[in-house]
Amino acid sequence: MELKFRHRDYKAEEQVHSFRPVAAETHPLSFQSPSYDQVDVTDYDRDEFFDPLRGNYGKPEDPMKDLGSTTTEITAEPYRDIAIQFLGKEWTSYKKVLMQKFPVSKMISVSSLSSSIMKTGKGPEKPSANVHLEELDDPQRFAEEGVKYITLQEYVSRLTELKDEISRAWHANDRVTSLNLSIKVAKLLSDTSVLQLYPTLFVLATEILDMLGDMVWERIRQKAEYTEDGTLVDLPDNFQATEICTEAKETCYNWFCKVGSIRELLPRIYLELAIFHCWRYLLEQPADNLPRLVMMARGIADPLASFYCRLYLAHCAQKINQRDIGHLIISLNDMKTLLMNAAHVASAEKTSGVLSGTRSSKLGLMEAAIEYVMKCLFRESRELQVGDILMGLGLGRNRSELFGNSSCVSLVLHYLLRELPIGIICSNALDILHLIECSNDYSFDQCLNYKLLGLRLCENISHVNEVNLVMKKVIQVVSRFNSLDEYLNMVDTHIDIVLQKDMKSYLDSILDGIFERITDDEIGENELSSLQSIVLKLLNHFDNLEKILQLDRFNQILSVMPGSSRTIINMRILSIATRSSYVRDPTTIQFLFEVSRSLHDYIDLSTIKDKENNHCANLIFRFIHMVDYGSDGERHLAFLVQCRGVFGSMSEVKETIVHSSNLLVVKAMRSGSNYVTFVKSCIACSEVTIPSIPSHLKQLNLYLETAEVALMAGLVSHSDGLVDSALRCLHSVDLLEGSRMPKDIDGFQSTLCKFCSLIVMIPGNIELGVTSIPRNMFSILSSLSWMLPCVKAKALCALILTVAALSQNNLPYHAIHDEVKGNDSLFYCDQQYLQEFLSFAVVLLQCLIDTILQEPIQAAGANLALDACNAIAASFEVCQGASDICSKLVETAKLSLSSDNKYLQSTVEFLKNRGLIQRGEL
């Protein structure tokens, strides 16, 4: 096969194929007024599509069209129906939360009284008074037989059976049985012997009572829809008591009389509350009966039962369309009185060191009632009534002194702070601080009230009155707490105010206090969580690493944080640091290095997810990449060596070290100083680091990069050694990695093309032969068992183009170092040199043709044939041998590709222009 390399003038070809800049008439980003003549008229009567970007060019829509219809619908719907629907959903949600907050074990203990009440059927029942007498006569036997154990599922099933029996009796017109069974359900609420069960019992029992109340309401409503003369009318939802007929009123009054005849107080209150909304049929102001029920609730001896009774009272009172808060204030004051007594007893027990667990858990159960009543109080009130509420609760002396009195029960105060309007809290922050300070009892943790106040103030920091005095008082109060947990809890919520108002002296005081307590106390999970929150707030506020490092005690506090919290903080610090383009301050670099070291050690010792692991690694090598010691390259190189020793388990970091080391070589060359020794040190750092990277493909890329850098610096011998390492690495590349198909084929092909382009700049070695590097590369590619024909064919095309480039009298590019001579200078017009490359090209070409024929996919083989045609046409002069090969390859491509294939058409046209095939031949 006779072939001859084509002579190429690369500069002339570049000028021919480059795009010539042409000035545009108008700037593409300049404003152009819309051409209305070219806009098609749109039929706006069709609602097919509305483009929100049309602006005023589209048909204007009526903005009140949809709003008007919605408003009409809402106005037409009665207020009471809307309110009841909302309150019904809220009550259902509240009951779910209540049961989740106080879960019950699978086995529960039930007193004999409750067990006897829950028995279904109409058999004889022993009165509860007789049960109490038996307990007094024989307390030991009653104690032995008084507790029974059943499963929670069985307990719920019994109540469900009672509910179904009440419903069946009602629909069978047996109202007496329905009432008697409902009384039995209400009696269950007097049993508080199993504290943890009581919220669940309350939810289940009140569902039954609500059902009874709804059935009574509907029965009376059916009668109320008839007038006195028997005419059927449509009773409106907002009816008045005067519109109700006598028969309906008598039925309603009869129900209240039946309920009023119940002997036991608790069932009597619950049953009246269940049907309380029926007072609307009798009275114009049903809310007038609420104070009477509140007073009746004072007769309930058990505090827990009393609290939950008031909770149900608040719920039932909302069913009437009247805003009345008086009964809620009375209820809260009664609960305050009960809590003060309980807190006094608890205080005595705490002093003696034997605070009862039962009493403590009972206080926790009472919280739910206070929370709900407080929510109802502020939902029913207006902001102008807040002063009246505070005075009603005994906290304010008058409207100008809303918090004039000295103390309040801590538990009540907590839920009051949660519901107060933010404007009231911001305006009276100092008085509230004094109130919390004076309200120190065992009903609730005082520090949690301080914490809540901080949270509320942070809702609107700009409106806090006398903020300096407030924070001064907070710092004084906080300093009295020696417990680390309490201190951090309070500081965590108030530090936002300190940061936003730039109170550096207070911030220093807070950090000093944290450090003092950290050294004395052991850091638990709760303390660590609060400390993490505080440090993150500091980092997010300053968002500048230099300012953060200037804070007193910051480093000391950070150093004592262990585990995952320290990792989260370290990741945040590195995230802030890596936002800049570089890090130059030596102190900052050392600090970030220690942060990265800590993060790296945690990754090694933990079992966190790969995604988090990768994120940590990304932050670390991003930091290493950003470090810049300026002209002090020696120090920068020492830093990279130190990073290699510390972060040796992260391959990404080692890649960054190699890139940074090579970048130092480029900077040293640009500086123009005597850099040979330093450059050799940098290249040696890269040579030592690359073999430790697990991926052979990444190793190959890094060897090529380092070889190119060495060639730029004029170190030909170093470059040759790196190329030899790259060839050995190429022999070890395996893209299969245990799978059936190779991975990252495109990346591998790109690396091979980069390798070929580097070969053009490397001076030929006469001793080994000028074609030694491309021949070795060809030999290795032929020996790779996993190599697919498509990959090998593209690599052979690249080698053919490389060999053709090396045959030119003027190479397309050279190494930038003056002392590195290209092959066009070393072997100018050397016929033996050209003949060696030409004979190697023949071998490559024959192997390329054989490889194309081995491609199993016809379409892929056709594209490879066209690739080979382009490589041949670009590399060789027109001759018979080249023409025959190209003709056969084009015929092969046409067997699998259609005649209108763009690649086929352009290749054929190129071959015709080169003269390798005749115009009428194909």
- The residue among 172 and 113 whose pLDDT is bigger is 172
pLDDT at 342 (0 to 100) = 64
% of residues, the chain, pLDDT over 90: 50
pLDDT at 109 (0 to 100) = 74
pLDDT at 122 (0 to 100) = 44
Place 11 in a pLDDT band, splitting at 50, 70 and 90. Answer: confident
Please state, in angstroms and rounded to a whole number, the distance separating the CA atoms of residues 471 and 491.
11
For the residues 575-591, what does the mean pLDDT come to?
A: 89
Place 9 in a pLDDT band, splitting at 50, 70 and 90. Answer: confident
- The residue among 396 and 647 whose pLDDT is bigger is 647
Of the listed ranges 25-34, 448-457, 764-773, the one predicted with least confidence: 25-34
* H or E element, residue 109: strand 107-111
Place 299 in a pLDDT band, splitting at 50, 70 and 90. Answer: very high
Please state, in angstroms and rounded to a whole number, the distance separating the CA atoms of residues 192 and 199.
10
Measure CA of the first residue to CA of the last residue in the chain; give whole Å. 23
Question: Count of CB atoms within 10 A of residue 422's CB?
Answer: 14
pLDDT at 113 (0 to 100) = 58
C-alpha 150: how far from chain center: 43
Is 220:248 a contact under the CB 8 Å cutoff? yes
Burial class (CB in 10 A: 0-12, 13-18, 19+), 20: exposed
The three-point CA angle 34-38-42 to 5° equals: 95
pLDDT at 52 (0 to 100) = 46
Cα dist from 653 to 622, 646, 778, 833, whole Å: 9, 10, 32, 43
Is 311:411 a contact under the CB 8 Å cutoff? no
Query: Per residue in 698-742, pLDDT tens?
Result: 999 999 999 999 999 999 999 999 999 999 999 998 887 767 677
For the residues 387-401, what does the mean pLDDT come to?
A: 80
Please state, in angstroms and rounded to a whole number, the distance separating the CA atoms of residues 750 and 701.
10
- The residue among 149 and 837 whose pLDDT is bigger is 837
Phi-psi domain of 245 (left: phi exceeds 0; alpha: psi -120 through 50; beta: other): beta
Inform me whether the pLDDT recorded for 142 exceeds 50.
Answer: no
Nearest to 426 by CA among 456, 404, 400: 456
pLDDT at 73 (0 to 100) = 34
Inform me whether the pLDDT recorded for 343 exceeds 90.
Answer: no
Inform me whether the pLDDT recorded for 68 exceeds 50.
Answer: no
Place 321 in a pLDDT band, splitting at 50, 70 and 90. Answer: confident
pLDDT at 380 (0 to 100) = 73
Residue 228 in tokens: 């006195």
pLDDT at 549 (0 to 100) = 87
- Helices 175-188 and 198-224 sit at what angle, rounded to 10 degrees? 150
Nearest to 655 by CA among 618, 609, 707, 611: 618
DSSP 423-484: HHHHHTHHHHHHHHHH---TTS-HHHHHHHHHHHHGGGGGG-TTHHHHHHHHHHHHHT---H
For the residues 852-873, what does the mean pLDDT come to?
A: 93
- Taking all residues of the chain, what is their mean pLDDT, rounded to a whole number? 84
Q: List Cβ neighbours of 675 (8 Å cut-off, separation of 6 or more).
A: 665, 668, 669, 713
Please state, in angstroms and rounded to a whole number, the distance separating the CA atoms of residues 291 and 387.
21
- At residue 878, the 3 state secondary structure works out as coil
For the residues 787-802, what does the mean pLDDT come to?
A: 93
Query: Per residue in 197-231, pLDDT tens?
Result: 899 999 999 999 999 999 999 999 999 988 887 78
Of the listed ranges 485-499, 540-554, 851-865, the one predicted with least confidence: 540-554
For the residues 19-43, what does the mean pLDDT come to?
A: 61
Please state, in angstroms and rounded to a whole number, the distance separating the CA atoms of residues 496 and 502.
10
| Amino acid type, 366 | M
% of residues, the chain, pLDDT over 70: 85
The three-point CA angle 645-650-655 to 5° equals: 85
Query: Per residue in 661-680, pLDDT tens?
Result: 999 999 998 887 677 899 99
Inform me whether the pLDDT recorded for 144 exceeds 70.
Answer: no
SS (H, E, C) 626-671: HECCCCCHHHHHHHHHHHHHHCCCCHHHHHHHHHHHHHHHHHHHHH
Cα dist from 333 to 294, 329, 391, 393, whole Å: 11, 6, 11, 6
Query: Per residue in 169-184, pLDDT tens?
Result: 999 999 999 999 999 9
Percent of the chain that is helix, strand, coil (3-state, to 5): 70, 0, 30
pLDDT at 406 (0 to 100) = 66
Inform me whether the pLDDT recorded for 59 exceeds 50.
Answer: no
Report pTM. Answer: 0.73
Place 404 in a pLDDT band, splitting at 50, 70 and 90. Answer: low
* H or E element, residue 108: strand 107-111
Nearest to 536 by CA among 558, 504, 510: 558
Question: Count of CB atoms within 10 A of residue 725's CB?
Answer: 20
Q: List Cβ neighbours of 355 (8 Å cut-off, separation of 6 or more).
A: 346, 349, 442
Inform me whether the pLDDT recorded for 81 exceeds 80.
Answer: no
Inform me whether the pLDDT recorded for 77 exceeds 50.
Answer: no
Nearest to 709 by CA among 651, 761, 781: 761
SS (H, E, C) 17-29: HCCCCCCCCCCCC
Q: List Cβ neighbours of 850 (8 Å cut-off, separation of 6 or more).
A: none
Half-sphere exposure of 549 (CA within 13 A, CB side): 15
Inform me whether the pLDDT recorded for 41 exceeds 90.
Answer: no
For the residues 340-361, what does the mean pLDDT come to?
A: 53
Of the listed ranges 37-41, 650-654, 685-689, the one predicted with least confidence: 37-41
Please state, in angstroms and rounded to a whole number, the distance separating the CA atoms of residues 883 and 921.
11
Please state, in angstroms and rounded to a whole number, the distance separating the CA atoms of residues 669 and 198.
81
Is 761:716 a contact under the CB 8 Å cutoff? no
